[in-house]
Amino acid sequence: MAALRAVGSTRAGEGRNSGGGGGMAPPSSLRIHAPSREPKARTMAGAGKVNNPRRRGGGGGGGHMPLWRVAVFASVALNVATLALLLHHYAATSPHHHHYAAAAVDWRDRSTASMAPSTGKPAVTPDSVINLDHGDPTMFEAFWRETGDAAEVVIPGWQTMSYFSDVTNVCWFLEPDLDRQVRRLHRIVGNAAADDGYHVLVGTGSTQLFMAALYALSDAAGDGDGDGEPVAVVSTAPYYSSYPAVTDFLRSGLFRWAGDADTFKGDTYIELVCSPNNPDGTIRESVLDSKTGNGKTIHDLAYYWPQYTPITKRADHDIMLFTVSKSTGHAGTRIGWALVKDREIARRMTKFVELNTIGVSKDSQLRAAKVLAAVSDGYERRPEMTSSSPTTSRLFDFGRQKMVERWSMLRAAVAASGIFSLPEETSGFCNFTKETAATNPAFAWLRCDREDVDDCASFLRSHKILTRSGEQFGADPRYVRVSMLDRDDAFEIFVNRLSSLK
């Protein structure tokens, strides 16, 4: 407000001091907050022209100015003053200026002037190394730039400082807004049951919830004395490379990676079912019969969204994991959620997150809630209320269109090259879009068929394409997993380079 008052007295002096009424100042809470858009104040054509007739003609007598002329001047001055106020305000709240700046302070340290959030991996050039090893979902940036401020979140300095979100909830650090938006989105998409029969738990990514589920399922007896052997953790190859790594890195006495579920013998286990699967995109089901024995199943449904696969049924497993990283693309926010039927399992998973990180960032939860709400809004709004195209407000439309295009480009490149192969395309009826749709997995499970290449990752690395070797997924090193989710420029360089490999 100080800046506005200063402006009022120095810039628009004539406007404020002239007769004819009060000024209109924007409320102090008005701020520019989208640094990528330069404010353009449209010029006020016509408002600056004032005829200044010297004739006396018309109303009023004597030597003083007639009222109507006063009104003209006052009105014009008001417009000029308002324009000046607004222009100064925009300049004052741009990223390169701040109310509290002290001239003596080193510019580099000035609190908000030098705030520059990161922008992910460095930009690529046609000659640079293309890193598609990780599923960094920057493909979705284009969509979120178009949504304007629908998904923007503002967090005042005093907000959500407590550890606690809802002390009456099993998951006491879960923000109720996120709980609500998660259930809402699942209801709209129809990909999972998220009614009152399920607890919603939040984690710092679904990775944390995966560990939490292992903890909850392996120590279900709750005696905590460590006498027993660690429970075997299995998944059908090719399995997500993080499963063995995350399971074993602390050499826990509670659970231990035991490899391929297809070859597992035993009746005490935790089976991980990822569907659509990471790395090969296939639709999976549990292979071990958990009814005969002491087996438990965790369903990782990170990719069970319309952009990757048709929504064929409403999943209703005991433990289902989802992540914002792959549904909306907000990997940096680090939010995953679990839908859990059993209250005791939910309680123990909550205990894991409590011991590991005393809960989950509430800032991230609120951002995720806003983002999920924007996704749901895109499908619940009446279509005629927006003039924007479906792909600028409907995330899954955008995503599916993008994945269709990219898989088409990839298949063309593979055909042009001749030394690679890809999984066959499958399709099914999607209950969400009410049409038949193909699967367009988030990763390409690419195999090199050239006889003299038995390590595809090394071969591609020599051509400056970084991928993740099939070995890390319990598969043959002729396979690699390639991210389909990077930015357009990186993906295009990749397919071009791939098509030239013979």
197 binds a second copy per the rule CB under 8 A = no
Token digits for 246? Answer: 């995350």
164 binds a second copy per the rule CB under 8 A = yes
Parallel/antiparallel/unpaired status of strands 443-448 and 255-260: unpaired
180 binds a second copy per the rule CB under 8 A = yes
In sequence order, what are the residues at sequence separation of 6 or more whose Cβ sits closer than 8 angstroms to the Cβ of residue 377? 150, 393
Instruction: Give residues 397-426 in contact with a second copy (rule: CB under 8 A).
Output: none
Long-range contacts of residues 98-105, Cβ cutoff 8 Å, at least 24 apart: 99/2, 99/3
- Binding residues for a second copy, how many (CB under 8 A)? 158
**147 vs 275, beta carbon nearer a second copy:** 147
Token digits for 89? Answer: 């305000």
In sequence order, what are the residues at sequence separation of 6 or more whose Cβ sits closer than 8 angstroms to the Cβ of residue 326? 135, 137, 302, 303, 305, 308, 442, 485
Tell me if residue 327 falls in helix, strand or coil: helix
One of 13, 176, 266, 293 touching a second copy (CB under 8 A)? 176
Residue with tokens 């709004």: 381
One of 44, 129, 412, 415 touching a second copy (CB under 8 A)? 44
366 binds a second copy per the rule CB under 8 A = yes
Could you tell me the sign of the dihedral formed by the alpha carbons of 30, 36, 42, 43, in that order?
positive
Tell me if residue 385 falls in helix, strand or coil: helix
422 and 411 Cβ atoms separated by less than 8 Å: yes
Candidates 129-137, 257-265, 311-319, 421-429; binding stretch for a second copy (CB under 8 A): 129-137
Candidates 333-341, 398-406, 425-433, 448-456; binding stretch for a second copy (CB under 8 A): 333-341
One of 238, 359, 399, 441 touching a second copy (CB under 8 A)? 359
One of 241, 297, 307, 376 touching a second copy (CB under 8 A)? 376
Helix ranges restricted to H, 269-389: 324-327, 343-357, 362-380
Q: How far is the CB of 412 from a second copy (least distance, A)?
A: 27
Q: Where are the beta strands (DSSP E) in 314-384?
A: 319-323, 336-340
Alpha-carbon distance of 238 to 277, in angstroms, equals 8
> CA-based angle 295:301:306, to the nearest 5?
150
**199 vs 367, beta carbon nearer a second copy:** 367
Instruction: Give residues 334-353 in contact with a second copy (rule: CB under 8 A).
Output: 334-335, 352
Instruction: Give residues 244-263 in contact with a second copy (rule: CB under 8 A).
Output: 245-246, 249-254
388 binds a second copy per the rule CB under 8 A = yes
37 binds a second copy per the rule CB under 8 A = yes
The radius of gyration of the chain from alpha carbons, rounded to an integer in Å, stands at 30
Alpha-carbon distance of 209 to 339, in angstroms, equals 10
Q: How far is the CB of 389 from a second copy (least distance, A)?
A: 12
Q: How far is the CB of 470 from a second copy (least distance, A)?
A: 21
Q: In what order do the strands lie in the sheet with 479-483?
A: 420-421, 443-448, 479-483, 468-469
Candidates 305-313, 368-376, 432-440, 463-471; binding stretch for a second copy (CB under 8 A): 368-376
41 binds a second copy per the rule CB under 8 A = yes
Candidates 142-150, 289-297, 402-410, 462-470; binding stretch for a second copy (CB under 8 A): 142-150
**250 vs 412, beta carbon nearer a second copy:** 250
**296 vs 330, beta carbon nearer a second copy:** 330
Q: How far is the CB of 72 from a second copy (least distance, A)?
A: 5
Q: How far is the CB of 166 from a second copy (least distance, A)?
A: 6
One of 12, 85, 130, 151 touching a second copy (CB under 8 A)? 151
Helix ranges restricted to H, 95-140: none
- Residue 274 belongs to what H/E stretch? strand 268-274
One of 10, 162, 389, 427 touching a second copy (CB under 8 A)? 162
Alpha-carbon distance of 54 to 40, in angstroms, equals 37
DSSP character at residue 339: E
Alpha carbon separation from 155 to 152, 175, 209, 238 (Å, rounded): 10, 14, 26, 42
Q: How far is the CB of 94 from a second copy (least distance, A)?
A: 11
**359 vs 474, beta carbon nearer a second copy:** 359
Instruction: Give residues 73-112 in contact with a second copy (rule: CB under 8 A).
Output: 74-76, 78-79, 82-83, 86, 90, 99-100, 102-105, 108-109, 111-112
Q: How far is the CB of 285 from a second copy (least distance, A)?
A: 27
68 binds a second copy per the rule CB under 8 A = yes
214 and 269 Cβ atoms separated by less than 8 Å: no
Candidates 264-272, 274-282, 297-305, 384-392; binding stretch for a second copy (CB under 8 A): 384-392
120 binds a second copy per the rule CB under 8 A = yes
Instruction: Give residues 288-327 in contact with a second copy (rule: CB under 8 A).
Output: 325
Instruction: Give residues 213-242 in contact with a second copy (rule: CB under 8 A).
Output: 215, 226, 242
Alpha carbon separation from 406 to 142, 311, 420, 427, 440 (Å, rounded): 15, 20, 16, 16, 9
